[in-house]
Chains A and B, each alone.
Chain A
Amino acid sequence: MPNRVLHVMGMAVSIDIRADPPDLGTLEGAVARVGEWLEWVDGVFSTYKDGSDVSRIDRGELDVAGAAPEVAEVLALGERFRAATAGYFDVRAAGRLDPSGVVKGWAVERASALLAEAGFADHAVNAGGDIRARGRPEPGRRWRVGIAHPHVQGGLVAVAEVHEGAVATSGTAERGAHVVDPHTGRAALELASVTVVGAELVSTDVFATAALAMGAGAPAWLAGLEGYEAFVVGADMGTWQTPGFPLAP
């Protein structure tokens, strides 16, 4: 069960490929391509790199039209999700252009597709706790995904089982209140964490972030999302989940 960790885009990206036996030459080639892809994404979209397209657009030095075409694609996604989340997800929530909330899922989706194209049907990509999984970890069972306890190091609040799909968790404990309610400009503090399970990581990650910003209104909103399941931990450590959330037995 080869596992590779790439350090890119300011995070650890773990690639877990299940193949028996693995063709190591093909595997290393595929992992290298994933690494190159993520490095490229970072170079274009990083808000920490002054020379990235996104940083230059933010400073008014570059038009979207003059940037890499993928930038327009990602910003269009951001706009779509701003509408889909009643503005709770906004690439300009922090007062500057920061499409990272879309970029991560988008980049991981492509990374997972590259692995699948290389013939690795059973794999998982875990980018800083947000996951895209395909196939199965072993014949006959699903991926078991532990959902980290928002406050207890090493603790879990639940274990989900997924086959094909994505799992994203957004929480306030990770780095203080990093999610801001765009409507108030204040930190979202009512929920400790929101985990969403969906078919692909872009929307799944965005919805987890948006729900955290919604606070108390999140469960009602999440319950109405077709095709997604959610597990919510409140600041008071109470938990709530959608009826279809795939808890491990």
Chain B
Amino acid sequence: MKRALAAVAGTIAGLAALLGYKSGPVKRAQLLAPSPTAPASPTAPASPTAPASPSVTGPSVTTPPSVPPSGGGDEGGGDNIGGDDGGGPIAPQPTAPPATTPPAMAAPATGGAGGGTRTVTGPDVPNRFGDVQVQVVMQGTRIVDVKPLQMPFDRQRSYEISQAAAPILRQEVLQAQGANIDLLSGATYTSQSYAQSVQAALDQARK
């Protein structure tokens, strides 16, 4: 049995963050405080904030953003959750201290093309493989493209990861937005730099 309370909550929060799920004042409050950078190592505990586990049910998840999504960085599961590691009482999910300093604030928007399309640059978010920075192209409140400005390639391994990951990451962010799902399989994330950079870009875009 997986100790996955926070995994589920974190996943939902993550979806909510990117999809603009209405999640009330708590999420709004988080918006005001920049999320700390996600822990760089998959084995470092993140700090699940464990909202009240709203259901991941179809339309509500894919509603167009009506609330600015919050930063996703502090919502991932920790390493004590989500695994096939046996059942047990729900461990309290403390808000762990930030593993690193918060990311630099987003650079100012880099200007928009016509027709309501805007391009916003997210902050540089470090992770264990290097820094991740993205540029988000929006039409209104909808993401129409995500361009990686900076992906880690300081080491050969990181380079390989970047090469493969960038197109997938880009595609998936776009996909999740319109994916109309009833259920979510899989648990949570520890590498959140990309989502965080996208998120910060979105937050910046709404200012």
Contact = CB atoms under 8 A, between A and B. Distances in A.
Q: Is the interface of A mostly helix, strand, loop or mixed?
A: mixed
Contacts of A133: 183
A112 interface: no
B3 to A, nearest CB: 4
Interface string B136-169: 0000000000000000000000001100110011
A146 B5 contact: no
Nearest to A43: B87
A238 interface: yes
A144 B82 contact: no
Interface stretch (B25-33, B53-61, B102-110): B53-61
B75 interface: yes
A237 B83 contact: no
Contact of A47 (B11, B86, B165, B186): B86
Interface stretch (A8-16, A19-27, A61-69, A214-222): A8-16
A159 B188 CA distance: 17
A159 B2 contact: no
Contacts of B1: 9-11, 41-42, 45-46, 100, 103-104, 107, 127-128
A233 to B, nearest CB: 9
Nearest to B180: A144
B18 interface: yes
Given A154-B14, A176-B79, A193 B4 contact: no
Contacts of A126: 8, 56, 183-185
B195 A148 contact: no
Contact of A174 (B55, B83, B182): B83
Contact of B2 (A46, A128, A145, A236): A128
